[in-house]
Structure 1
Amino acid sequence: MTTALPTAVDVAARAVDVWKVYGSGEAQVVALHGVSVELERGRFTAIMGPSGSGKSTLMHCLAGLDTVTRGEVFVGDTRVSGLGDRALTDLRRDKVGFIFQQFNLLPTLTAEENILLPLSIAGRKPDRQWFDTVVDTVGLRDRLRHRPTQLSGGQQQRVACARALVARPEVIFADEPTGNLDSRSGAEVLSFLRSSVREYGQTIVMVTHDAGAASYADRVIFLADGRIVDELREPTSEAVLERLKRLDVTSAEAAAAGSGAV
């Protein structure tokens, strides 16, 4: 019995034979080598790999933050590659949410105003019940009137998480979303991200180096040298660590072969 592949309506974002090349000549760096991947709607996907594997580049291309050298990228049924600046701005505002290590909060706005900023820009009124759920889950209820300079790094990251989630975009792209949180706060945020997928149908794509964080995902995609080399469904921390060890060994062997070492 064969398993049916996801149909177009089941795919929130996809890359089709995507190449990303920086520089030229001897300085040329190929960050992505013909990557094709489908990210299912209503699922939590983690992207992992060694430093320099292309995981952040892939996420940036999927989110429309970086252009591709060759190939195509889609968010839903919108072809991202080739969009003009105005159309890209509309896509990022209406369909995509972001959580990055650099919080990108506006210093003159309070935490609440930062959280609601994407909705304000889009001219949309917030769902106050959902807003309260987000704020309470990430533990910001008593910090809503504070500006970023009055918040710790971990609190600022939680504001960034809440900002991405409150608009309920089609896809949230998260780059190390718990990187600046302590283990307890990080677990709370990851649990909320996972529940937002399972209970509300949110789609999340997360780049991480943390096997524990990846274990919250439904699927882990592994990159090495700009290529997808493996994936894992229903991951555990132990299984993710084992796959990463294999990648490290393979990368070391390839480097040794390339240098002529024996």
Structure 2
Amino acid sequence: MPRTAPEETSGTGTRAVTAHDVVKVYGDGDASVAALNGVSMEFASGTFTAIMGPSGSGKSTLMHCLAGLDEVTSGSVVLGGTELVGLGDKQLTLLRRQRVGFVFQTFNLLPTLTARQNITLPLDIAGRRDTDPSWRDRVVDTLGLRDRLDHRPSELSGGQQQRVACARALVTSPDVVFADEPTGNLDSASGAEVLAFLRMSVYELGQTVVMVTHDAGAASYADRVVFLRDGAFVDEMADPSIERVLEALKSLEG
């Protein structure tokens, strides 16, 4: 039987996102594949959690369900107090736009826009004025981008581009920032820099970060690691170290 993740009580004490008995099945009949098998877990506000597991464990599927990018087959997902199950496409689009931030492996910056324009793009798309420039300035300064705001992506290093992507994810002050293998296209030095900034966004800006990664080094920046196998929650680790995470992954793959 899969374990049930205990209630997460660190951070501010409030829950940024909660999954309860989430099942995700792709396909029908004999061709159906269960990517998630009754996953339940909570993510407290103001914490940094890494989701890990062997290939095919369901970690990316779980993140997509938590972020409202994929519809669950059954179960419940509550993000910032809003139940996602049952929301229409328009409602989900608005929720993601206003209350969720995303950082992807491939940066996804628009090449014709400056760093400043890429950062404020979510506000422009949502038709929201930059009503809190002090927050935007705080994000920019925390990520060390002040002297790069007028540069286009082609004029930035990979690490700088990912920092711009992080700032874009943070500029709306979302309930949760979801990061999908955010260091996958970076060298080790740039990757460490981006992970340090994600961690800083939690401790200095009060953000909540949920990151999918296969990298034990990346996971060591998190407050907590949750492990999946065969679509089920199987274990978790507080205050992870690279060595402990590697040992846990070995036991999952053994």
Which one of the candidate residues 218, 236, 245 is aligned to 1:240?
245
Q: Are 1:119 and 1:126, in contact at CA under 8 Å, matched by a contact in 2?
A: no
1:170-198 Cα deviation digits (max 9, x unpaired): 10000011222222222222112112212
1:218 and 2:205 correspond: no
Q: Are 1:154 and 1:180, in contact at CA under 8 Å, matched by a contact in 2?
A: no
Corresponding residue of 1:48: 52
Q: In structure 1, what residue type is equivalent to 2:250?
A: K
1:145 and 2:150 correspond: yes
Corresponding residue of 2:191: 186
Distance 1:76 1:135 in 2: 24
Corresponding residue of 1:176: 181
Q: Are 2:58 and 2:229, in contact at CA under 8 Å, matched by a contact in 1?
A: yes
**Which protein is richer in helix relative to its size?**
1
- Structure 1 position 129, deviation (Å): 4.4
1:165 and 2:170 correspond: yes
Corresponding residue of 1:203: 208
1:187-234 Cα deviation digits (max 9, x unpaired): 222112112212222111000111111111111000010001000011
Which one of the candidate residues 231, 235, 238 is aligned to 1:230?
235
Structure 2's unaligned 5+ residue stretches are 1-5
Distance 2:159 2:239 in 1: 28
Q: Are 2:158 and 2:190, in contact at CA under 8 Å, matched by a contact in 1?
A: no
Q: In structure 2, what residue type is equivalent to 1:10?
A: T
Change (3 A) 1:5 1:12: closer
Q: Are 1:48 and 1:209, in contact at CA under 8 Å, matched by a contact in 2?
A: yes
Q: Are 1:42 and 1:202, in contact at CA under 8 Å, matched by a contact in 2?
A: yes
Change (3 A) 1:51 1:42: same
Q: In structure 2, what residue type is equivalent to 1:107?
A: P
1:5-53 Cα deviation digits (max 9, x unpaired): 7499711101111111111233211100011111111111100001110
Q: Give the length in aligned residue pairs.
A: 247
Aligned pairs (5 A) from 1:65-76: 65-76=69-80
Which one of the candidate residues 51, 58, 64 is aligned to 2:62?
58
Q: Are 2:50 and 2:210, in contact at CA under 8 Å, matched by a contact in 1?
A: yes
User: What secondary structure does 1:180 align onto?
Assistant: coil
Distance 2:181 2:8 in 1: 29
Q: Are 2:25 and 2:73, in contact at CA under 8 Å, matched by a contact in 1?
A: yes
Change (3 A) 1:178 1:130: farther
Q: In structure 2, what residue type is equivalent to 1:225?
A: D
Corresponding residue of 1:95: 99
Q: TM-score, normalised by structure 2?
A: 0.89
User: What secondary structure does 1:42 align onto?
Assistant: coil
Distance 1:4 1:56 in 2: 21
- Structure 1 position 142, deviation (Å): 4.1
Distance 2:65 2:81 in 1: 16
